Structure 1
Amino acid sequence: MAAVVGVVSGLQLFSPDLLRAVPAWVALRHLRRLCLRPGAEIAPADLFALSHEVKSISEFWSHSWRGRLSAKLCLLLMLKNGGAAVCLGTVAALFVAVLSYQDLLPGWYKAARIEGRFDGEVKTSPWAILSGLIVASLTLLLWRSRVLVFLDQICIHQGDAGLKAKAIVQLGAFLKNSRKLVVVWDPTYLSRAWCVFELAAFLHTHNDEKPAQVVVKPIVFAPAVFVIAIGGVLLMAFEICLPSHNLFTLMRALYLIAWGLLVAHLLEDFWRHADVAEEQFRTFSWQSVTCDCCSMNHLGPNGEVIACDKEILTRCLNQWFGSQEAFENRVRTSVRDSFLGPITRGFPLGYSWQLGANSYLAWGMANMFASRAHAGAGEFTVVVPIYCVVWWLWLAPIQYFTLGLIARWIHKKHAEKLSRPAACAVTFTRYFGYAMNCGLPHLYQRLLQMVLDQISAALVFAFTTFSWALVAYHMWAKPSK
């Protein structure tokens, strides 16, 4: 036991041939296979052969196998392939918009729903936004990210007990030789001893890095990004395809509010998960975490006695931090800040993820630009790129930021014991706030277009909304306490 503890806590790589990694696309393909065929038998040797020896690991994927695998797969696909999907989808949308402008694609004419003094018809079609969606979706699923990652099921031999034991005792050394720790968080993460050990070991071995390269992504991010992206594509498709009739305008407005409520519900779910993590950190006790060996009463498949992983890890943590109590205090303070800070500060999904989820704005406005340019709409065409920049880069992100603030307030109120009148007031405030957040920017844009010329309206809209976004973010973007 003492020798094993010495190897684990020493963080020295005694077997460099066991420091292995796998291209991210191969790891994602394996996870996809597990989701599609959960009961399929995969030879451990074949899995191990997918990895290869490396000098260092780019990303160490830390996760709990007790969590929902499909949600983890979606999250990791977005994390590794999302950037390429957004870029290629946008290029495809712009290319198809050019083809539409050149009359090389079919379309139909309809009265333009353009505020101001334009009475002509425009040739419209949804090909740009559809091509952006299709190319982005295919890229998300099929892109081959070559970032070298560590996924335990592949990089540790699951069929050779000797190799597996050697790799497990050097897991701390693997973390020391990893440049980034990617935490795929779900509510079971902090209850698993090995997950907590991975987080602690990485922070311990990268203590001189300020800040340490820890990326925390809750699995609830995946459905939120999906709803934002697909809901936005549908909204832009309605805008492009539906006739310019008051009834359809009302339908679009109702859809916008319903979509905003769904996103708000997902953000409320996000804050529920964040509160679970907060409570887990606040009450963290090493004694409460579990290992598979403990659940099996430290007996192997054939009845043989096996060593307790938790006992080994406890001794390692005592060597690193001085005592179990010191480690628990570290988890409740600095580890908590490193973990919760990135997901409770600022934009709920992170600014770059917001831009990716909102890329449908660029695809849809490429459609509008081509239609108006084809019709010779002049200044009505020039303002489209301005509105695209405004909505994509700061107005839509600050709307989701505001939705997140409202959702967090609602979540806190639900945790309180409220009287019936107070609960009704909270419910009314909830829906009123969501509706105003969704609708006011559109009404403001329409008002400016009615009282100013198109270019002046666009520039005033850009300046005022940018100023509001800066003020709102700096006032309210604070980490969780």
Structure 2
Amino acid sequence: MVFLTQPDLKQEGIAGLGAFVKSSDKLVVLWSSRYFTRLHFLMLSYYLALEFSGEKVEQRNPLSFSPWRFIGISAGIVSLSMMLLPIVNYFGMSLLDDIEQLPTRVQNFRMEESQCTCCSNNHKDPQTGLKVMCDRELVYQSLKDIYHGGEGEGGEELEQFNQLVRKTLGPKVLWRAGARATFLPLRYVTCIVMVSNLPLLSDLIWHISQGPETPLVGMELFIWCMHLILQWLQPLSAMLFSMEFSIQGLGAGCIFCLAFC
């Protein structure tokens, strides 16, 4: 590496070009229209011609091909995304529909209305046709044993279990599934907000790579970088809270309309 801004290091780098080539296994040529007009490149080629054969020269595609290669790769990615996006949206909409219906299903849960395979098949084995034991009766008996110790007529254990599901198990399932204010898990909301702000991330990286107008070092440079990062994060946090509170307000408005309309 030849330092162009420090004269002493620049002189040492140019003087060591020959030793650098001798210790190298091969010379990679990144060819462009200016390759044979640059002095350092010609010196490297000259040293290589003196010491080694042409087999140790590896030439890559011209640098002018790089934008076209980038365009080709980008076009392939966009085409693949356009093919996969409808499939992803289909499954995503199905997931949202299930999550949206989950609070109603939990609130209206009744053990008596739950489905059972044996009852759906009229208590017969679908393959052999033989009569099978009713699973529902076994479950009811288990609940009776839990709540009444298997004694007495019972009858209240089903309602007790229904209340347990609605008030204890239900809220935990709703929270884990994301069926709360936004009807989405928090990690999904975060991903949506992050993806929508990814284009601005390229501007942030570019500004940090360019550095401040006035050269800074140490803690001052760190604070300057953190200032840019926080500027990028501010819209993300605003969008996140906006999604949470706006849909909370929408849900409250729907409840108000249902109550008074």
TM class, shorter-chain normalised? Answer: 0.3 to 0.5
Name the one with the larger strand percent: 1
The structure with the largest alpha-carbon Rg is: 2
What's the TM-score once normalised by structure 1's chain length?
0.28
